[in-house]
Amino acid sequence: MKKPQFESFRATSLYCKKCATAMPVRERLLLVLPEKEIFDYLCTGCGESVGEREVTASEKFGGVDGLSLLG
Ligand SMILES: [Zn+2]
């Protein structure tokens, strides 16, 4: 699995195949898992999903501190 380039920053505009251009996107919380959350990016023009992003617990809680919750 290749990681998408936009993963490291908050995307506001992504290429949409339907609109055939870069479009502003809406972020939607798609899935919540114990160790990560997955966000879906929807084109504001046509509503098509144009990408997704995973936010891991370590990213959210700032590293190893989050692990102590499991112990
Ligand atoms: Zn579109």
With 80 as the cut, is the pLDDT of residue 30 above it?
Answer: yes
Count CA atoms closer than 13 A to 67's CA, side-chain side.
Answer: 3
Q: Which CATH architecture has domain 10-69?
A: Single Sheet (2.20)
Residues surrounding ion ligand 1 at CB below 5 Å: 16, 18-19, 23, 43, 45-46, 48
Mean pLDDT computed over 28-52: 94
Ligand 1 centre from 54 Cα, in Å? Answer: 21
With 50 as the cut, is the pLDDT of residue 70 above it?
Answer: no
The partner residues of 37 in beta bridges, in order of sequence, read 32, 55
Q: Which of the four pLDDT bands, split at 50, 70 and 90, describes residue 1?
A: low
With 70 as the cut, is the pLDDT of residue 14 above it?
Answer: yes
Ligand 1 centre from 63 Cα, in Å? Answer: 36
pTM equals 0.62
Ligand 1 centre from 41 Cα, in Å? Answer: 11
How far apart CA 34 and CA 59 sit, in angstroms, is 13
